Structure 1
Amino acid sequence: MSFFSSIRQKAPFLERIAESFTPTMSRDEKFRLQYKLPDDEHIIDDTNTDITFTTPYGTNHKDKRRKDENGNQLAYVFSGKLFLTPHFLVFRDAFDQSSCVMILNISTIKRVERSPSLSYAFALLVTLYSGTQILIQFIGLRNRSEQFCEKLKDMLKHNIPNAKRLPMFIESCYSNFLIEKNILRKTDIVAPKAGLGQHFKYPGQPDITKEKAKLRLWFEYFKENGENLAIIQNHTFQKLVRIGVPSRMRGEIWELCSGSMYLRFSHPGEYQKLLDDNRDKTSQAIDEIEKDLKRSLPEYSAYQTPEGIQRLRNVLTAYSWMNPDVGYCQAMNIVCAGLLIYMSEEQAFWCLSNLCDIYAPGYYSKTMYGTLLDQRVFESFVEDKMPVLNDYIVEHDIQLSVISLPWFLSLFYTSMPLEYAVRIMDIFFMNGPKTLFQVALAVLKVNGDDILQADDDGMFIAIVKHYFQTLHESAHPDSPDLKYRQITKFQELLVTAFKEFSVITEDMIIHERNKYKKTIFENIETFVKKTQMRRMPKTFNLSDKELSNIYDVFYQSIETHKISLGTGSSNMTFDVFLQFMGKFCDWAKPSKNDDDPVFKKQKQTFLKKLFNNWDSSKVGELTVNDVVLGLDKMVTPDLLEAMNYFFSLYDDDKDGQLQKDGVLQMSEGLLLLTTPWKTGKFVDLLTKKAIEDDIADEIVKETSIDQQASGSIELPSGVTIDEEKYKAQQSERYLKAASNFLQRCFEYAEPLQIDRQVDLLDLSDDNDDKPDEAKEARKKKFATIVANAALDPTRPTAIDLATFRMVILADETYELFFSTTLRDSIHLEEGANDSGNNQVLKSMFDGIIADGRRVAERVRRRVDSVATNKSRADSIETNTNESIHTTDTNSKMIDLDDFTTDHLEEHEELLNNSWEDMDDSAEQNARQERKIEPMSPSASEKQKDLIEFEA
């Protein structure tokens, strides 16, 4: 017993753990879902009460036996809880929460007064527009009850405008028509507008006698319990729905059970406004709607006529404009066509809205995640409730979801004849999504013996299809009992579904959905990603891994877009683009410089140019394909392509020239892009080479000439590097490069329009009679005009692409920036990691010291140079072929010819800090691929002289 006692003690704890992994809804969300109320409703207050109600047309009102000795009317009293929301009074009984459920729109209340008949208790007498009286007796503290009444009073004042619209609204309800015609005997009233069935007949061959009997039962129910916005729902209501709703009443009962009646009342005229505001507009959803209109329930005659097609088009189009995230999805036309048979356009519109949001969430979405999720839930129910059948299905590799998917997606409209599908819909709107699971399980249960004979999917489908086509036939044709022979297959299906599988509850479905939701969503995201990756444009510089990472970061950045749900815009705005680029690029990441308004403006200006350049559709948003193509251009290894693309960013008019403002903006862009190197946060290859050369020089200095000549060099125990010195040198180099860039651009800029009347370089020797001093002054004057032409506001100048490339190649820093540094600053493989793998200058220093291969190369050159000066040709050959051996294992000696990976492994700890992405070998390989030789300082100066000479 102690074992079971411990289990009982641990049970609450285990339940709390389970709940922590299950998404929970708030109290208001659960309340709205239970009573199908609009999204803006919330509980203002609640209290315990006893409720009694009497209707003006009910039998109790005329029954003398239901009066006390004083002549007061007697009625049933229900105890429960009363809830107040901004637009509703909701009461539910405390017995089973279904014996008396009242959802009363406050607009239907005509008068509220204190009850004079109950002097001993605090009570209110509420009179409705129909004459129904509700006696509310509060249970509890009087002060608490008075607070509830004050809040009710405030809500009644706020609902006065809605109350004025009430008479017109109830005229559209068939229940009101029944009361006015058969009790009030009004002769000037007409039946409200209903569905297509009014003119094209209702599906099947309804028995007139049975239809009248059902209509009479509902008429009696309305007299006793109220109608439309002020109806009381009890067990009789549920029984009448199960028996079958008369065709003329079906539209109102559907919108009453689904809660769409409350939406229609609270949004007057919105449906028609949607149609009017978007008339003649086109969209992808509308194009898809037009393709499916004539494929919507083609067996029903109304959808072969323009009237039926137009009604269906209106409802689907209006919904696509109201809910652009969904727009239009497969099978929505089937469901909407089924609603329009019994409902007007406006009724069907709001019913479709609630159906998509409450009853079948995710069924009609871009990814259809709701249907896929419920297929997995259905398979788990089959496995649990029918293990023998499930084992057979698994053994024969029968895809159950292929067969059951149309049942759920079309709500059985396309699976069974319409007259039986609408009966399923009656119960579906009353009981919720569990109806689909119960009916689907019953179909398998009833056909279990035949299914166990099926060998493949084709036989399975044929068995089920034949069953649906014979639902009108007897379920027991060979039974000797006449009553058994009269039971149809459809009746047997209903009994099996709602009795044998009544164990399937909403809570079970929610639990199973939460259990499989994560897996289904991951599968959907994987599928969508693979599909989009295959459709991405061809790139030349991005690997598959980089493309995958760009895709992930792109959609992670757009927080409003949910891939698995198919909701939200999948395009990127400029604000999101700023954050997106900050995850990839060193120069776009957040930094201390962002506090500087000038720097912040420069960053946004440059990124805006990138954004506009990448925006192929010119709508102010980027698709993932736009971003992929843009990044592919930025990481090109080709130097000329990199320069050409950067020039094109500032050539807005695409005339191949940049004037003064364009050059200044380009200079600011270069200052922004080079900020991480200008501030010393990172180092480029030129700085790295300088550091390595200094290390090599220090090693050579600390070794004697004899050691250098013999080839035996002792590695110093430590090398100190002046970090600030190299930061300052690199910063100065980048500032000088920026200054030279502007100077050369203006120096080599060409006038846009040349005045042919002025000879700018008239150096002829005419007029020899002029003195030499005058000639020299004239030459200097024209030289000054030429040199300052770019600064003359009356003579605008511009540079073209060739001049821009010439200026960049004339500067070693900017040439290296476009060939290597810019590409290395974009880390497409690590965009999701904000920190990145780029190390600061200090870490890079450690890596240089650790990676002895390059340092040893430089030491070798210096040793060879010393050896060459000491002994000429003979000693050169000897020193080249001899090895430098280690003389003492404890001392740090290196063999320059044998400084390989074996030696580096001894310094593994130091090598881990090296910058592999800044390796010289990688740089040399990249340069060989581009066939561009490194430009030494001397070569740079020679090229500068050559450029100036040619100019």
Structure 2
Amino acid sequence: CRAPDRCVQDCAMWMKPEEILLANALWVTEQSNGFFTLQRRKGHGTKGLSSVLVGTLDSVFDSKPAPYRILHRTPLSEVSYVVATSLSREEIFQNWAWIEQNLLETLKSFDSEDEATEFVCCKIRSLVAQREVSLPEVDQDNAQFQVNANRFASIFNLPPQEKLVNYYSCSFWKGRLPQQGWLYLSMQHLAFHSFLFGQTTRLLLRWTDITTLERSNNFLFPETIMVASRQKKHYFSMFTNIVETFTLMEQLANLAMRQLISEETFEADKQLSRKLSCNAPKKLPLLKRDLDARAQSETYRTTFRLPLDERLDGSLECCLWTPYNKQAVRGKLYLSPNYICFESRVKNLVCLVIPLRLLQVTEKVDSHHSLSNALILTTRNKVNFLFAQVEGRDFLIEKISELLAKIPQPKEIPCPEDDCTSLASSSSSASWEPEASLASRFELPRSQEAQEAETQKEKQWEEHFAEYGRGLCTYRTSKAQELVLEGIPDSLRGELWMLYSGAIHELETHPGYYRKAVSESMGKRNATSEEIERDLHRSLPEHPAFQSSQGINALRRLLNAYAWRNPAIGYCQAMNIVASVLLLYASEEEAFWLLVALCERLLPDYYNTKVVGALIDQGVLEDLARDHIPELYTKLDSLGVLSMISLSWFLTIFLSVIPFESAVNIVDCFFYDGAKVVFQVALAVLEANQERLLSCKDDGEAMMVLCSYLENVQNPQAAICSRSAFQPPGGSKATVDISTLVYDSYSKYGFLTSNMIEKLRLKHRLSVVQGLQDANVKNVLRSLSLDPRISALLTQDELSDLVALIREQQLSQHSWGMGPPGVAPPNVDSGAPYGEQLFHLDMDQFLSFLSAMGPWSRGEHPRRLGVRLFRLADADCDGWVSLADFCRILAMSSRGDMDDRLRLLYGAHLAVCQPGDVEDSHRDTVDDSPEQEGAEVATEAEEYFSSLEEGSSVDQILSSSSTAEEGSTAPGLQQQQLLQQRTELLDAVLQRSRDTDSLFGSCSLSSSYGSSGDPSRFSSKSSDVTLPDMNQEQFVQMWQTVYNLFVGHPDEQDFYHALACTGTELLQMGEMNHEAKTQPNELAGESSGGDGPTQQEACREGSIVAASVSSDMWDRHWHISFQQFRACLHKDEHLASFFDSKTPVSSALEGLRNSRIQQRASSTPPLTGAIKV
């Protein structure tokens, strides 16, 4: 039989037939026929004893199936087959109906039961196969995992964006008794669920709220994981695999913290399921495999110093033939899209990196008598690398061939001649060329002993190159580390820094990039370039290279180019010191890529405004000191010294505290061994001064001890440079040889590894990032409380609750990748208090919070007023409103007096709205009859609006208005005037304090819309002096908004009557203003002999914010002032009472919090808006 097309679409419940022996255990039969049985799980939908027992068994043994299933069983067979499952009764009965219609008649025609069973199994498998083909590959996790993922989302009411990574059986200690259940780890949450004998235990924690993750093993809590949030500690134990569980928890928490720092969202690797591999684990959930692959790739990049976008493709065991000692070294070969790497099993024995772009030939070797399964790789320089005992050699060769076919050829990035010419003119020089290493151009004198030592080191390195190779494909052995510890000679320092840092890879794959970056960045003035200019002459001022224009210009180009490349970092203090040292020993372009490697790979998150990386490593140093020099740590911790010294040490790699000619030896080791060198040297310095530090009485004395020691670290083999900046006051203190310090750091603390440092970094990343987030929120609350308009109307508790709700919403939407489509990040004022500038609301978010807590969420079309208020607050027209302005509007509308509310209402209708904001607002109001038909006053109000509008719509007016605005003036000047006037209007409405000169300039609103020529009107002491007059069109729109506020109000009829009377009075006032304005203007026109408008009228009509487009249906001379509007509404008792009533913000906040919980219970995202941080 042929199934209908519909059944293929609805076949999500079909499953591959599974044998079961006990068909009725824990199941109830609802329908059956000769070949199929439809069953329901016992206790499902009930609250009896059977429901409790079955639910407990399912929860403990992870056997909770879908509550409905269909079995295939023939009358004489004892074996049944599960062919369909479903979570709902409706869906399972759809499958049952399809079976009865399409299979039953066919099955009756078979002669034997075995043939019928074979036919059923074949048919069901075909339906399942069609489903799998139609599903995206990334969704093809195993069926059991999908069932648990659905259960997880259902239990905790999470949206579809929340993806489960894995789940583990464990116990949660609730009080003194453990609750056995399941720990769910998703991308954004840690969750626990237990159901035991009718008692349900649920716990849901966001990763971004976790402050501590610890694994412990003691008598009370054996093999326990402790998870601490800001409020409480939670303990989990009795894991089947605690190592895997804790590793995944660390990884997810680390990922969440990095997202908070960088504001990036997680994107699954869509290529993972299609990767060609012979041993990839397919049983793990796809997201778990993705995270494991990311962790392995990060370790791979760190070990071999590879670019950040390199991803590990696979690894296998093999042997590398080392020609320098004629041995086969056992280790592991790693393959990625652009590199083949090898690392020996014995640490530091041998390491090898072969870029695929240099590979020319890959071939098998079967003739070698002692090495089996061998292959040989030949580079373009005719260097051969022999690998033997390769597991899956044919597969490896196929994979290498596949990757080689995809290797792109590096192309020169063009630098237009016009850009270079402009750059040259802006730099006041005929042309520019990248500088060579400045140390070779500005040579410093050396003593004879130092010169001999330098020559000897150069000779040793030449011998090393001859034996182990030179360049990218050199054999990296422990011999190279020994030479690095002795200090790299100046002539080779730049080359070896590039090699060991991995910067050489980015230099070779991005030809012309630096020239392009320089051409794009130089000659542009901004805050970053100005900060760079201030620091140029503070960079190694004792070295002659930076006392000349060549060195200063090279440093300027380098720092500006990097700021252009990475605007998220831009420029950070201490970068100039590091960059100047890089320029001494490497060419200008090489120094650029070294700085890239330093800031983006070797010391991530160091060089930014938050210096998060340095703060994390400060905590790591404290932990290491506590473990290895506990007595000294106790002393320094009591003095608070470690937090004072670590930032300056780490940010400049000791270059700012040790004479640079000595500190470069530490930089040598840093580029070779990574960040662990900084901790080794720091611990060695502290231990060398332990006795003196223990006798210190205060932090100042301890700092003097350390500064004196570091200033006297010398390098007798270095060139002689002016040391005036490092000379101690006495000048006779004993010096310390840098070689001795480096040797001590390796001999005593060389056991530290990059993995150890990374684990400690993860531990402190949680606390540091959470501390920064808490500090940001405190800064927000502090800045808001300092605003008198906010603090006078909202309490500190209300502000705290409001910020917490906004922050929670921001975290959810950021983690789920939700945001306003097509809206760019907000234009943040760098002068705003740090923390306050982090919170911005888009329109949907603004409307959601305002409607939940503001007083104008009732009536008809409340969104239109909210949109107008948003456009008023969005003075810079970027689609975002700052938290401070939102709080001012909320405070004035909910707790302000009547004048505050009227000012908001009046100002909202002066701001220009976009055509889609208030679509058909006139038509809706006119065509829709009031709820209480036949009411005399309601009919009067409707006729009142109809007589004013004369059948026109707002869409037509706004469209023509925007068209007129676009062509009125030059775009740049028009935009500037628009932003200035919108800002002045918002200042006037919110009564924000600004410089009076900016308020009352030649283009200010007060001069453009002055209703009279009286100079006293512009006094800054009046609260409403800067509010412009309102024209007839704006008044009609505002009065329709006021009319809509009372739709459905208990006293609707009384308000309609009051609005009709007050509206008529305001219309008459506008006519009187027209007549009073027209007569003087006519007299002035006659006296001047011209017919054109006056300057004041022209200014009013040309304004972008408040003036309406000229139209025959509107009287352009009609206008009213805010004082008139306010006075009329004050006279009516009903209207005054309405606009003077206060809104309980605390109860509104509580209601909003409860509504969020209910929205989550519906398994939908809380809001469609977004907050940008």
1:152 maps to 400
Question: Structure 1's 131 and 738: CA in aligned 2 closer, same or farther, altered over 3 A?
Answer: farther
Match of 1:491 among 739, 742, 746: 739
1:102 is paired with a residue whose SS is strand
1:434 aligns with 2:676: yes
Match of 2:752 among 478, 484, 504: 504
Question: Structure 1's 279 and 558: CA in aligned 2 closer, same or farther, altered over 3 A?
Answer: farther
CA deviation map 1:302-326 (0-9, x unaligned):
2222222222222222222222222
CA deviation map 1:461-515 (0-9, x unaligned):
33223323433499xxxxxxxxxxx996433322321111223333333333333
Preserved contact between residue 319 and residue 388 of structure 2 (Cα < 8 Å)? yes
Question: Structure 1's 629 and 284: CA in aligned 2 closer, same or farther, altered over 3 A?
Answer: farther
1:131 aligns with 2:131: no
Question: Structure 1's 343 and 552: CA in aligned 2 closer, same or farther, altered over 3 A?
Answer: farther
Preserved contact between residue 584 and residue 831 of structure 1 (Cα < 8 Å)? no
Aligned AA for 2:899? L
CA shift, 1:39, in A, is 2.1
Q: Provide the C-alpha distance between the structure 2 equivalents of 1:733 and 1:204, rounded to a whole number of angstroms.
A: 98
1:651 aligns with 2:910: yes
The worse-fitting range, judged by mean Cα deviation, of 576-585 and 406-415 is 576-585
1:92 is paired with a residue whose SS is strand
1:513 maps to 761
CA shift, 1:420, in A, is 1.6
1:229 is paired with a residue whose SS is coil
Match of 2:794 among 525, 542, 550: 542
1:78 maps to 329
Q: Provide the C-alpha distance between the structure 2 equivalents of 1:744 and 1:147, rounded to a whole number of angstroms.
A: 89
Q: Provide the C-alpha distance between the structure 2 equivalents of 1:248 and 1:815, rounded to a whole number of angstroms.
A: 85
Q: Provide the C-alpha distance between the structure 1 equivalents of 2:356 and 2:462, rounded to a whole number of angstroms.
A: 24
Match of 1:801 among 1107, 1114, 1122: 1122
Q: Provide the C-alpha distance between the structure 2 equivalents of 1:743 and 1:834, rounded to a whole number of angstroms.
A: 44
CA deviation map 1:753-785 (0-9, x unaligned):
669999xxxxxxxxxxxxxxxxxxxxxxxxxxx
Match of 2:712 among 470, 488, 492: 470
1:833 maps to 1153
CA shift, 1:241, in A, is 1.4
2:319 maps to 50
1:89 aligns with 2:89: no
CA shift, 1:639, in A, is 0.9
Task: Please give the residue correspondences for 1:445-844 in structure 2 after superposition, counting only pairs within 5 Å.
Answer: 445-472=687-714, 489-531=737-779, 533-535=781-783, 538-540=787-789, 541-549=793-801, 551-552=803-804, 576-586=842-852, 603=863, 606-615=865-874, 621-635=880-894, 637-652=896-911, 655=1009, 656-667=1028-1039, 669-670=1041-1042, 674=1045, 678=1047, 729=1050, 749-750=1070-1071, 793=1113, 795-796=1115-1116, 797-805=1118-1126, 808-809=1129-1130, 814-820=1135-1141, 823-824=1143-1144, 833=1153, 835=1155
Q: Provide the C-alpha distance between the structure 2 equivalents of 1:503 and 1:608, rounded to a whole number of angstroms.
A: 62
Question: Structure 1's 150 and 666: CA in aligned 2 closer, same or farther, altered over 3 A?
Answer: farther
CA deviation map 1:854-902 (0-9, x unaligned):
xxxxxxxxxxxxxxxxxxxxxxxxxxxxxxxxxxxxxxxxxxxxxxxxx
CA shift, 1:425, in A, is 0.9
Q: Provide the C-alpha distance between the structure 1 equivalents of 2:1062 and 2:454, rounded to a whole number of angstroms.
A: 91
Q: Provide the C-alpha distance between the structure 1 equivalents of 2:883 and 2:439, rounded to a whole number of angstroms.
A: 48
CA shift, 1:251, in A, is 1.5
Preserved contact between residue 578 and residue 607 of structure 1 (Cα < 8 Å)? no
CA shift, 1:527, in A, is 3.9
Q: Provide the C-alpha distance between the structure 1 equivalents of 2:1055 and 2:885, rounded to a whole number of angstroms.
A: 32
Q: Provide the C-alpha distance between the structure 2 equivalents of 1:828 and 1:257, rounded to a whole number of angstroms.
A: 60
1:281 maps to 524
Aligned length: 682
2:391 is paired with a residue whose SS is coil
CA shift, 1:647, in A, is 0.6
Question: Structure 1's 817 and 223: CA in aligned 2 closer, same or farther, altered over 3 A?
Answer: farther
Q: Provide the C-alpha distance between the structure 2 equivalents of 1:526 and 1:756, rounded to a whole number of angstroms.
A: 57
CA shift, 1:426, in A, is 0.9
Question: Structure 1's 306 and 532: CA in aligned 2 closer, same or farther, altered over 3 A?
Answer: farther
Task: Please give the residue correspondences for 1:888-899 in structure 2 after superposition, counting only pairs within 5 Å.
Answer: none
CA shift, 1:548, in A, is 4.1
Preserved contact between residue 293 and residue 333 of structure 1 (Cα < 8 Å)? yes
Q: Provide the C-alpha distance between the structure 1 equivalents of 2:368 and 2:1056, rounded to a whole number of angstroms.
A: 92
Question: Structure 1's 121 and 438: CA in aligned 2 closer, same or farther, altered over 3 A?
Answer: closer
1:37 is paired with a residue whose SS is coil
Question: Structure 1's 87 and 829: CA in aligned 2 closer, same or farther, altered over 3 A?
Answer: same
Q: Provide the C-alpha distance between the structure 1 equivalents of 2:463 and 2:635, rounded to a whole number of angstroms.
A: 50
Preserved contact between residue 641 and residue 703 of structure 2 (Cα < 8 Å)? no
CA shift, 1:247, in A, is 0.9
Q: Which has the higher helix share?
A: 1
1:266 maps to 509
2:644 maps to 402
2:1141 is paired with a residue whose SS is helix
CA deviation map 1:208-232 (0-9, x unaligned):
2222222233233333433333333
Match of 2:297 among 24, 28, 32: 28
Question: Structure 1's 34 and 535: CA in aligned 2 closer, same or farther, altered over 3 A?
Answer: same
Question: Structure 1's 128 and 824: CA in aligned 2 closer, same or farther, altered over 3 A?
Answer: same
Q: Provide the C-alpha distance between the structure 1 equivalents of 2:641 and 2:857, rounded to a whole number of angstroms.
A: 55
Match of 2:600 among 345, 357, 368: 357
Preserved contact between residue 398 and residue 456 of structure 1 (Cα < 8 Å)? no
CA deviation map 1:371-417 (0-9, x unaligned):
2232232223222212232344456x363332343222221112222
Preserved contact between residue 537 and residue 552 of structure 2 (Cα < 8 Å)? yes
Match of 1:98 among 322, 331, 348: 348
Q: Provide the C-alpha distance between the structure 2 equivalents of 1:362 and 1:791, rounded to a whole number of angstroms.
A: 58
2:540 is paired with a residue whose SS is coil
Q: Provide the C-alpha distance between the structure 1 equivalents of 2:855 and 2:756, rounded to a whole number of angstroms.
A: 48
CA shift, 1:99, in A, is 2.3
If the length of structure 1 is used for normalisation, what is the TM-score?
A: 0.63
Question: Structure 1's 463 and 756: CA in aligned 2 closer, same or farther, altered over 3 A?
Answer: closer
Q: Provide the C-alpha distance between the structure 2 equivalents of 1:309 and 1:831, rounded to a whole number of angstroms.
A: 61
Preserved contact between residue 536 and residue 552 of structure 2 (Cα < 8 Å)? yes
CA shift, 1:14, in A, is 5.5
1:804 is paired with a residue whose SS is helix
CA shift, 1:439, in A, is 0.9
Question: Structure 1's 836 and 137: CA in aligned 2 closer, same or farther, altered over 3 A?
Answer: closer
1:417 aligns with 2:659: yes
Question: Structure 1's 572 and 619: CA in aligned 2 closer, same or farther, altered over 3 A?
Answer: farther
CA shift, 1:810, in A, is 6.6
2:362 is paired with a residue whose SS is strand
Q: Provide the C-alpha distance between the structure 1 equivalents of 2:896 and 2:857, rounded to a whole number of angstroms.
A: 27
CA RMSD across the alignment:
4.5
Aligned AA for 1:518? L
Preserved contact between residue 635 and residue 826 of structure 1 (Cα < 8 Å)? no
Preserved contact between residue 692 and residue 705 of structure 2 (Cα < 8 Å)? yes
1:908 maps to none
Question: Structure 1's 503 and 76: CA in aligned 2 closer, same or farther, altered over 3 A?
Answer: closer
Preserved contact between residue 853 and residue 1148 of structure 2 (Cα < 8 Å)? no
1:583 is paired with a residue whose SS is helix
CA deviation map 1:37-91 (0-9, x unaligned):
222211234333333366xxxxx6xxxxx9xxxxxxxx43333332222221122
Preserved contact between residue 47 and residue 148 of structure 1 (Cα < 8 Å)? no
Aligned AA for 2:346? D
1:230 maps to 473
Question: Structure 1's 402 and 239: CA in aligned 2 closer, same or farther, altered over 3 A?
Answer: same
Preserved contact between residue 605 and residue 611 of structure 2 (Cα < 8 Å)? yes
The worse-fitting range, judged by mean Cα deviation, of 803-812 and 359-368 is 803-812
Aligned AA for 1:208? Q
CA shift, 1:581, in A, is 4.5
